[in-house]
Structure 1
């Protein structure tokens, strides 16, 4: 009978199947069904269900009473309507078949889709037939849920009315708003809408009188004054500032991502005027402006200068991305990576950003619909890289810079083309004179003219020469011009010959002024894969002390051959990187090859050290290379290991790729292992899969079957993090077959334990318990105490959730003893977590809190903020159970801060729990 089952709780309880009503008469039976419906398809633990049905008046045998109720419900709804699972009882129904869940789903969808928001709000509000659970026996849990639903209802009502005010004549809404404010005299949002509607209908006096009625009502009932929103509407009515057509959409995130413009920007008046004309020409499509030209011609400077000047035209903000289309050392950024960053800036949490690039692009276009946003896409490689980043509706403008002509973007996407040439002679002179100082330029006009000619009037080249001149104020300008004239070499064209001016002489002129140590540092950093380098890493590459490296880097940065973009970290401009790469390629092999090995060794040993410091008991510690290259000083970040890995993440990924390209497969495998301990903690699940795949390919080339087995296991974990359970299962099976064939009992046991995690995630706890049970004697046989503890913890978890919490406690306590004996603090934290959950299952809340606090202390010690946030939510729930409302509020608030900072969806759980506490305190 469960086909077509639908349940309504937003008013009197209604139950139907295939449109035919079903009578559920008994009060507690109705409550049982309502609570199961609110979890639609998810298990409800027996204790939680009993609390919701009876509250504090539990029968002497609540589980026996529940069994009776469930049997009666199965007779009414069908034998398969309610399943009994290890985690609890499941009503076989979807969220869309329960009006309360359909209501919240529509509200969540409305918040994510501005175009459909008004329609979804109307549909959601139409589901209400009265007060939630109004004919059910009241318990504390139902009261809390009813309060939550009612608050969301009135928030939706106010939002719907605000949208109606923006799209309908205000006079049509006055009657509804008058009725609502009469029924709800202290809901200030309704009064703000009523005042706005009256004012926009030409009834200013009535709007002001409405404010006075609210003022008296709040004073009489609550002893307070109207809040800032209503006061702001009142002030704007008095001043006449409330425009009839004013939109009442809530404020959306307003990103301001534009980098600083060039302080020495000069000229380009015609180009600026043309850009303004294009951007202000109204049309049915978004404005797309493509700025094309050779490298170094000033495309980025022009785009940013104009963007800053035009920012006030785009009140909803500015987005910026360097697409790295012609970076000589790194591949172009994929549109998916850019979209992820843009969506985050537009207020979409990481957990809600789709994995599919097409879905990302669709969500991005939805977020930009109806907004006035400026998007700057710098250094694009081709039209395909840009096209997914274009808005879909008018109101936005996109500025794209590229060495490529982007003919596809012009032909098929309606882009306007602005081809940027070198500076006009007078513009080049003004630029150089401004940087040199007018007096110095006027004193040697011929030399200035020669420099302009030798630099081909390219702004980047002129800027480098000017920086060198400014750093050597005693040098005559003529000496700089002579050096440019005498240089026999030129920088080859990049990216298919789109450079029209040779920059090698310009770079060489600055380079030759460096001290020998700084010049050597500049050359050797051409070996570095980027995107930036720390002082410590540069010291190892050059085989010098950190103090010497710091001095050399500072000297190079003063001449703008490197940029210190954050304290202690340096990055190349792409053309300067190309020049450094050319120089180091010409270096003798006796200098270049050891420096290359030092670079790889620095990152290998530093990252392995950091990985060990994060978790010294992690399975399968790799064998480090016996010797570290002479001159390398690996970093040992200690307590800051997690922070170090986070800072170096992009560099380590680039180094991993470079190691594979260089044929250093052993380095690649070990680097991937080091990253594998960090990336899951930081929530970078996609990158974890990427690095593990690289490791798998590298180890296949090595021909090491044992490492191949571990590589399959590592890739399985990455797939598990992405919820690709079938892929994870397949790789674990391959790993298990290899371990068995090799006779590697420890590897076999770890893989069995990992298979148990897959079974658990699939909901098959019996199979998960079997895997833990199977691995346990193997760990004992090979003397792997840490593995034995992990197996015991997994076994205890399964036992407890399969209905034997006492056995689960015994297994986890045995695991804890072993971990404390070996000093495995990270493993211990996980076991304390398990013990906390199991004590909750047994109803021993005080013991659960104690275990949770122990886990929390260890999470903080290890720096694992995600697990810290999870533990805080559990602690808050237990504190709330014991009535420690203030303590629960502190725990939830701290969890919100941590999980928001990590952009984890669990922050919403903590936020809801925190929001519900006041109503519980009042109760």
Structure 2
């Protein structure tokens, strides 16, 4: 069936790789264009989907195969078949037949599966995910080939497998299992010399490519061939393989393998390093698996142990040391030694009574043997140390919830820090428990359920068991039940496996102070936090707070998410652990909980206030509520706020969450004050959604409390947001109401801040007399209260009004005064200094002093880039482009203006974009490119008409009229 171009093939491939599951549009965009999609990417994906649907229909498929499912598309197989699914089913049948000793049937199923392959999978389709999937599929084929060959060798089919095996080893010389099978087949076919040569070739390849010796299985096979061991001979005619004689005392203690282990490929590969025998050490290979309760440490350990058990012919020892068992005391190493010695055929009467003698006998017995030792649920090094063999042929795998410092210092050859599954793996695990049909029928609900279980195998198995026991429930029904945070832990704590009980075991092992920090963190509904929050929760110093928070990390109760912009480590809860912490918070009295939250909230307010003050060079351009901030020591404050905007950026989501929490709790004074403090970040970094959400929540709280001053402050904040988005009518209405409330409350400073913004709108509307009157009134108040930043700002606005009046001399005087006031503020006056310098550059432009204008604008751009002020950068680049146009450097101006347009697109200001496009049109015309000029003029006109700025609309229409006719 013809599919169209490469994009069509790529999109269809991604749908085929996850049949019955939703593939988001963003994932399809990434697969087609990597990290550089065009602006029309979503539209192009939609066009490709339509073309594929048409191709299926033309091919005679009456039903719709590709269906739309938010947030993307889903490939519905229906009555169609997929070769990968058929291959998987046949391999599964073969594996089942092997387990049930139906080897001829297994061989046929493997053969049918391998006949499905035609060349390299996914050939002709590119992309990182496709390449990964092609590699995975190829690995599945190779594994199936080796499994099929193993069955044929057991059936005595050694001569007929030789050609295929030889070709396989030539293509994949480093696959030791295939080489092992080829050597076995050659030996059984009477080709003993060839078998030994095949071994030597493999050894050379491994040494040259990887620098390692062949693994123990190949080495032992070589030795067995040299000695012509009977175990290598052909199985009997009934197809039964020769049984390997098992020496007396070989323990086989591993629990049953975990059914439906999902994912964990990287972790299993890391554990595979325990089998690396290329080193010269005689110490046993030691592995460590750590992770939070319920993450699947035991399951991973047992599954891996079963997969490598054949490499440890002298046995496998297993012990659960009950380090986190509520009902039992932790098992001592002495107790485990006694049992292990009995497993190793030491008569009970000969087991020493002294622990040191037991350990010595244990080490002696394992000195020259290859034994795998799995120690599960270990809590301390004392439980492990006597159980470590001395022989290099042994391997020890330890699992525990916390890192074991002494063992980490060893260090382990493989340390797996086990985290949650991916969403795909979690859904796969659910499918294995509930049944693929029920899960694939509700892909979105299944993904939601997996996320509600924090992608933890324990929680997923409990949820899957509940669904399996209730066939009348849909996946969505259980997801709805779990979505209620008050009931989630109850839903996942039924029957023998209980998430709450699993967490409680670790919680009870915490020190009193660490447990107190954990439950108090549960009081905060913030997405993440730094160690200063821990100090505030406990009213202690930063060092102690950091030490205790790291203890929670070691206990797997918190995740580290990395360093924030301010250089501090940030932590977060997994959702289930956050809910458990919130439950544990009830152990403290209501008075204690209130005092803790009050102190932490007031610390947030102190740091945000101080960050604002340092950003402006003083307590400028803001009014405050009546809440008294909780001050931190100066040295700690300096550490946290070394770069105030970076601290605000790091805490942005948490600050927004605290505003929401305070507003809901009726803490109106706190909420509106904190919102005003954070506006410097929202404005500079263009976080308009956060700006609106915080201001609206705080406005609701202020109105509910009858707080006129707080209501006015938030109306002003929302008006400033509407002004930022060029909705001047709405903004002016909000400012008018805010001014009335400030006047009623006697708040002169707040009223002056409103008047300043009203004057800016009047200036843009051309109402210059009103704008100057409001600006003059605001200036008097700012000078009276000492708000130097706002003074500089309003002087800058007055300079623009003078420019509009063609009063260049007064504009220069006011601009220079604004620059002087800003410079006197110091480092914190950088923002207002950039504004004043920009206005002074505009004066130079009006005087046609283009070199002076460019010099000033370069200073402006340097300042705003350092603050990541994208709006300021767009304005600065626009003015710089205009200066270069005035100087006649048209091509240089076009390059600058195109850069300005890219920055403006990040800001979303229709006015700035329109002005840049208008300037680009002028530059394009001067460069003789009338088509580009017209395109930019029309774009500018659309921008200006959208926001209703009449003066700019008229300028643009006049420019369009001057262009030559298109004909």
Query: What TM-score, normalized by structure 2, do the two folds share?
Result: 0.47
Greater Rg over alpha carbons, structure: 2
Higher relative contact order (CA 8 A, sep 6+): 1
